[in-house]
Amino acid sequence: MNEPARRGPKSAAPQKRAEIVAITAKMLNEEQGDHVVNMNDIAQAAGIAKPTLYHYFKSKEEIIFSIHMTLFELMRDQLEERLATESQPEDQLRGVFRDIFAQLHSHPGHTRVFREYFRRLSPERQKIVREQEGEYERSVRKILTDGVEQGVFKDLDPTLASLALFGMAYWAYEWYNPDGRIPAQDLADQFYTYFVSGIGAR
């Protein structure tokens, strides 16, 4: 009869870890001035004691790494769903823009952490993140390649086009406001239109 009670904390651990990751990403996104977010700040924001925080994460770097991995897991899952439900390169590419802007809205701070805190990771963790990033970017390049082969997009270099796409979409973390006048999906569609007007074959 005591078994469920013994398993309770373990079963709650992934949820608490995810909560800490989300809280930290938001705090890093709002980090200003000379104050650097530390483990004390994170524990206080999460409503737990500092020793309890160290039970979930051994260091701030480990949390930052988890933010990276959470972002790329989300991006991968969203793209896989797009590719499974959309057959045309134009629709798939529009979905990429929509997913990136949706992440900015639903996971505030994650993209900023990826763009600005990557070099704070250990070389081993940087390698893992780069592998995840590379897998995602290869999938997007394939969308562009398919579009070129089908005559939907101009005869362009998919690698350069993907770099332009990511530079255009990722940079939105600098100015995107979840409470702004234009919804995330509408922004994504406008950015898609700007991008495709440059690469579209017609």
| CATH number of the domain bearing residue 130 | 1.10.357.10
Following DSSP, what letter does each residue of 92-143 receive, concatenated?
HHHHHHHHHHHHHHHSTTHHHHHHHSGGGS-HHHHHHHHHHHHHHHHHHHHH
Look at residue 165 and tell me whether its pLDDT is greater than 70. yes
C-alpha to C-alpha distance for 136 and 72, rounded to whole angstroms: 8
Look at residue 4 and tell me whether its pLDDT is greater than 60. no
In a domain, residue 32? The reply is no
Average pLDDT for 59-87: 93
Supply the range of the domain harboring residue 113.
Answer: 60-197
Residue matched to tokens 């930290």:
24
How many domains are contained in the chain? 1
Check if the beta carbon of residue 194 is closer than 8 Å to that of residue 188: no
Residue 38 located in a structural domain: no
pTM of the model: 0.84
Looking at residue 120, what is its pLDDT? 92
Instruction: State the CB neighbour count (10 A cutoff) for residue 90.
Output: 16
Q: What is the mean pLDDT of residues 61-86?
A: 94
Residues 6+ apart with CB under 8 A from 56: 13, 16, 17, 20
Q: What average pLDDT score do residues 143-163 get?
A: 92
Rounded distance, CA 26 to CA 20, Å? 10
Specify the pLDDT at position 2: 43
The pLDDT-based confidence of 199 (bands split at 50, 70, 90) is low
Over residues 112-139, the pLDDT tens digits come to 999 899 999 999 999 999 999 999 999 9
Task: Give me the pLDDT at residue 91, please.
Answer: 94
| Separation CA 188–CA 179 (nearest Å) | 15
